[in-house]
Structure 1
Amino acid sequence: MDVVMHCRGMRSTRTDATVAGPRQKLPRYRAAMWAVMLVSSSAFAANTRPPNVLAALDHGLRPSTLEAGQPLPGWSLKERMEHYHVPGVAIAIIQDGKVLQAAGFGVREAGTQDAVDGDTLFSVGSVSKMVAAATTLRQVAAGKLDLDRDVNTYLTSWRVPGAPTLAQDTLTLRMLLSHTSGLTVWGFEDYQPGEKLPTLVQTLDGVKPAKNEPVRIDFEPGTRMRYSGGGITVEQLVLENATRKPLEALARAEVFQPIGMRRSTFVNPLPARPGNIAKAHDKDGARAALPRGWEAFPEQAASGLWTSANDLGAFVAALIGSYQGRSPFLPRPLAIQMMTEVSPSFHGLGPRLEGEGQSRVFHHAGTNDSYRAWIEGYLESGDGMVILTNGTNGNMLRMEIRNALSDALGRGVNPLVRTVTLPPAVMSGYTGTYRLDKSVPSEVAGNLAGHFESDTLDVRIADGRLTASEAKGDPLTLQPLTPTRFIGPGDFGQLRCEFLRNARGTVSALVVERGGGRLYFRREAGPVVTQ
């Protein structure tokens, strides 16, 4: 039987808490996948230095927010994988800038005994953007590309169409990498086995077989942040036109080989020959993307990377090492630029950034139809993590795993938030219509500029909870942290809302904050609204 866990440098001290009891009957593949974890536990228990972060997976998974009075659940990875119907997970732990643990849990394909390990290939969705960014920055470091030059001067097979109604429509790589380019197309659909794949130019023009709208500028570049997979696709074309090499060859020379990412590839569709591939599963844990077993992602830089926990852990470690001046992968000044927010975005040159001091962190999520991924690195301590899953419901699972690992690392990023209980009379004082104050500069609005599609928010009470909704949007439930401050839904980088009550006792405004961005909504006169 293959051993599920594959470790670098440090060995696991897992207990048998996640192993099925003798009376419990599990499907054959589930019994196998948890039994082998016991083998790993007994074999590796001797070495316990440094602390075994993966031990937190036995009991430490948790949500990001708990309502008042709710006990901390202390979930195990096993029960949450079964809860979300995710067959396989791979994790890497980085400590002091080195990959110390890489482990697999569960199986690559439901109904089999094909165990996941640290070298299993997963689709990682938008985490691909980080590797594409590193490829671009290596070209910048070599003097072959300029972050602030008009990208149309590099493009030969296609040009970014102008936007003559705007005061300025010049795009740069700095804008593309930080999602401040003004380009459209947030993300891309997956392609099933047998579907024809578009070329890069067909994707940019929205021409079949591409499934997306054309990638075009629709607000002045540099003035707002809006996440744009379309912008990253332009970045890929810049790389390929400027070097006359496909992204796969360029990334291999600039990133995979220097770091030692021997299993990683941008080839799409992924051929079966690498082996040890995590197959796709739907929300019920059933096999998907048949008969091959995985989708294709022709927008390679935006979402097409296939990689492993070991490889991606080494990549995160290389970025941390470059930032700290301990790795030659990127020159330190350029690595610091990569890890610095580009106003008004909360992205640097690729990663999303949060925190300060010892809690300074970069991260990026990845989401394709059947795969969910997460990377995170603590820039000062040198710690970090990689989480890869092969199920549609892996988005919630990855954050519960992430919370357990962060708690075990002791970095204090995204700690558990406990809400409070407020009397209905207090919340009813906040209901009404709030209109966006457009005089707030885009630099202050930051990553929230353009976040809301309309200029008004309706605050109501529904089923005893305070909600905020746009004219055509679903209501957001606001959970109270204090009598005036509330937190929005989500698991990382949640919206924080504060109702401002002036010296006359009147609630006059609503402030919405996230990652340094701030919006002001002025309360309009009128009756309160409840339901």
Structure 2
Amino acid sequence: MVSKAPVQSSRLDQLWPTVSAEMERSKLNGISVAVFDDYRIVDLHTQGVKSIDTGAAIDERTAFSTASISKVTTALLCLMLARDGVIDLDVPISGYLKSWKLPKSDKPGAAEVTWRQLLTHTAGTSQHGFADFYEGDAVPSLIDSLEGRLPRYDKPIEFLFAPGTNWKYSGGGYVILQLALEDHLGKSLEDLVRERIFAPLGMIDTTMVQPGSEGFLGNAALVHDKDGAVIRTGLPITPQISASGMWSTPTDMAKFMIAFQRALDGREDGVITPSLAREMTDIISLRYVGGMGTPFFRGMGFGNTDWFRHDGSNTGVNVEMLASMKGGYGVVIMGNGDDPNTNPVFATLRRGIIDKMGWRHRQPLDKQPLEPALRDTLVGSYKGLLYNMGFDYRIEQVDGELWIASEFFQHFLGIDRSRMHHLGNDVFAVEDFPNRLRFERSADGTVANVHIFRAGDDSAPVVRSIGELRPGE
């Protein structure tokens, strides 16, 4: 069953049959999508069912577990409280913890780990994520989670490196943040975000209240396994709500992201001020996942766009939100299936929406003549050229132009390769990568290093040797 809002964009009408076919191939039971442009929602689309068992159709107010997108809400609350003088993000968080103490560690600075380090995944804390629970289970407390009294994760949170010296995604760090907030303020995180964020932004179908508790939403999509079957009750309970316990709809999360975009445009008309928006999206380092904010990811450039984004993936559900740094456009996608079900559908949606909305051409790229010698030198295979995440890349020449081919583009966009544009002075833009590549040549004309930098951003470039990227050549 398909439903649409009155604000629908006819540009996307031809996309939905393609999405339906991909959903059937991938055994994905349901999706919900919000598309926004020029700072307003222009299309809402739902398809499929909340539960394969009941056949109840997804509608625009059906909420999904948003998994790790919860971290963005937690981070915003922390920044708002810091702005108001309630907490200080750059002092040790230990001073705010009353019911639990940080674990002892031989890592320098662990005892002085700060709120900001935990928010940016630079604290060195362990535990990427946590298991879900269901009605009838013995649901652990936050302190159980921190001390490793869990069925699947039986190790206490620990420090893996000295805070501030590296980056590692850590749900465990966000649990420490949740406990510090609740200890210091004497209120639940559910109440704090409802009062400070959800209600003021008009996010009427968003909550951090968990299934089975008073106040949970009555219209929710159930989680399904890779075979398309409902997992247990279908309603996972996540006690670590700061890290992965929020439920929401694409409509509400589009409102959330548009509020950031309006603030980035300098508008002082909402809960999210320009200074808060900049603090959340400013790049802390290009060395981490192509560009990391607090805690938005700034490393994806799908469709020639500098996005701030976050995704979420729990067992049986996947969600993603992409918003442009300029221009007020983007998309929120939610699907009630596991990775093998949602990945191909989300790739089809990303590519189709970007293409049909014309976003790839919003910010034209210059193109300068390319010296044949440099072109020929760059052609070949590379290890981790754009993202050091295990992907292989190959620069190819097609009709005198350079393209980068990689399974990365296939995974995220369903395309084999992305075009390179020579901007002059040995600098290249890649249509689906937000950073620029400057190839540094030695005196003899051979390429020695590649400098990865973000145009218009003062983050330190990442410099990698061609020997590292092209071993054996």
Both proteins in one fold, TM over 0.5: yes
**Structure 1's 513 and 324: CA in aligned 2 closer, same or farther, altered over 3 A?**
closer
**Structure 1's 381 and 266: CA in aligned 2 closer, same or farther, altered over 3 A?**
same
Deviation for aligned residue 1:260: 1.1
**Structure 1's 429 and 352: CA in aligned 2 closer, same or farther, altered over 3 A?**
closer
Q: Map 1:294-443 to 2 at 5 A.
A: 294-326=235-267, 327-343=269-285, 344-345=287-288, 346-354=291-299, 359-392=305-338, 393-412=341-360
Question: SS at 1:388's partner residue?
Answer: strand
Deviation for aligned residue 1:283: 1.0
Deviation for aligned residue 1:518: 4.9
Deviation for aligned residue 1:412: 2.2
Partner of 2:224: 281
Percent identity between matched residues is 29
Q: Map 1:18-97 to 2 at 5 A.
A: 51-55=9-13, 57-58=15-16, 76-97=18-39
Please say which of residues 157-166 and 510-519 is displaced more in the overlay.
510-519
2:49 aligned partner, one-letter code: V
Deviation for aligned residue 1:372: 0.5
Maintained 8 Å contact 1:90/1:116: yes
Match of 2:45 among 89, 103, 121: 103
Maintained 8 Å contact 2:30/2:335: yes
**Structure 1's 520 and 236: CA in aligned 2 closer, same or farther, altered over 3 A?**
farther
Maintained 8 Å contact 1:280/1:390: yes
Q: Map 1:373-522 to 2 at 5 A.
A: 373-392=319-338, 393-412=341-360, 476-482=391-397, 487=406, 489=408, 490-491=411-412, 517-520=462-465, 522=467
Please say which of residues 237-246 and 516-525 is displaced more in the overlay.
516-525
Match of 2:159 among 217, 222, 245: 217
Deviation for aligned residue 1:233: 1.4
Supply the distance in 1 between the matched residues of 2:453 and 2:58 (Cα, whole angstroms): 36
Maintained 8 Å contact 2:449/2:466: yes
Supply the distance in 2 between the matched residues of 1:512 and 1:520 (Cα, whole angstroms): 9
Deviation for aligned residue 1:294: 2.4
Supply the distance in 2 between the matched residues of 1:526 and 1:248 (Cα, whole angstroms): 51
**Structure 1's 157 and 524: CA in aligned 2 closer, same or farther, altered over 3 A?**
closer
**Structure 1's 520 and 240: CA in aligned 2 closer, same or farther, altered over 3 A?**
farther
Deviation for aligned residue 1:122: 0.6
Supply the distance in 2 between the matched residues of 1:398 and 1:298 (Cα, whole angstroms): 28
**Structure 1's 503 and 190: CA in aligned 2 closer, same or farther, altered over 3 A?**
farther
1:269 aligned partner, one-letter code: P
Maintained 8 Å contact 1:89/1:105: yes
Deviation for aligned residue 1:192: 4.0
Deviation for aligned residue 1:78: 0.5
Supply the distance in 1 between the matched residues of 2:54 and 2:470 (Cα, whole angstroms): 62
Maintained 8 Å contact 1:484/1:498: no
Supply the distance in 1 between the matched residues of 2:189 and 2:152 (Cα, whole angstroms): 19
2:72 aligned partner, one-letter code: M
**Structure 1's 186 and 514: CA in aligned 2 closer, same or farther, altered over 3 A?**
farther
1:207 aligns with 2:207: no
Supply the distance in 2 between the matched residues of 1:329 and 1:126 (Cα, whole angstroms): 22
- Give the unaligned 5+ runs of structure 1: 13-50, 60-75, 416-425, 437-444, 453-468, 470-475
Deviation for aligned residue 1:522: 4.2
Question: SS at 2:200's partner residue?
Answer: helix
1:182 aligned partner, one-letter code: G
Question: SS at 2:161's partner residue?
Answer: coil
1:154 aligns with 2:99: no
Deviation for aligned residue 1:163: 2.9
Please say which of residues 252-261 and 221-230 is displaced more in the overlay.
221-230
Deviation for aligned residue 1:103: 2.4
**Structure 1's 226 and 388: CA in aligned 2 closer, same or farther, altered over 3 A?**
same
**Structure 1's 173 and 396: CA in aligned 2 closer, same or farther, altered over 3 A?**
farther
1:305 aligned partner, one-letter code: M
Residue deviations 1:385-423 (CA, integer Å, cap 9, x gap)? 1100001121332232122112233222999xxxxxxxx
Q: How many aligned residue pairs are there?
A: 421
1:249 aligns with 2:191: yes
Question: SS at 2:312's partner residue?
Answer: strand
Maintained 8 Å contact 1:205/1:215: yes
CA RMSD of aligned residues (A): 3.9
Question: SS at 1:347's partner residue?
Answer: coil
**Structure 1's 413 and 81: CA in aligned 2 closer, same or farther, altered over 3 A?**
farther
Question: SS at 1:5's partner residue?
Answer: strand
Residue deviations 1:98-125 (CA, integer Å, cap 9, x gap)? 2233221111111544111110011111
Maintained 8 Å contact 2:380/2:394: no
**Structure 1's 210 and 354: CA in aligned 2 closer, same or farther, altered over 3 A?**
closer
**Structure 1's 524 and 228: CA in aligned 2 closer, same or farther, altered over 3 A?**
closer
**Structure 1's 300 and 212: CA in aligned 2 closer, same or farther, altered over 3 A?**
farther
Deviation for aligned residue 1:284: 1.6
**Structure 1's 212 and 320: CA in aligned 2 closer, same or farther, altered over 3 A?**
farther
Maintained 8 Å contact 1:123/1:371: yes
Supply the distance in 2 between the matched residues of 1:79 and 1:185 (Cα, whole angstroms): 37
Question: SS at 1:374's partner residue?
Answer: strand
- Give the unaligned 5+ runs of structure 2: 364-376, 414-431, 455-460
Supply the distance in 2 between the matched residues of 1:353 and 1:526 (Cα, whole angstroms): 28
Deviation for aligned residue 1:148: 1.2
2:223 aligned partner, one-letter code: A
1:234 aligned partner, one-letter code: I
Question: SS at 2:311's partner residue?
Answer: strand
Question: SS at 1:366's partner residue?
Answer: strand
Supply the distance in 2 between the matched residues of 1:527 and 1:137 (Cα, whole angstroms): 47
**Structure 1's 514 and 216: CA in aligned 2 closer, same or farther, altered over 3 A?**
farther
1:491 aligned partner, one-letter code: F
Match of 1:166 among 103, 108, 112: 108
Question: SS at 1:491's partner residue?
Answer: helix
Partner of 2:372: none
Deviation for aligned residue 1:56: 5.0
Supply the distance in 1 between the matched residues of 2:251 and 2:469 (Cα, whole angstroms): 54
Question: SS at 2:128's partner residue?
Answer: coil
Partner of 2:457: none
Supply the distance in 2 between the matched residues of 1:169 and 1:513 (Cα, whole angstroms): 34
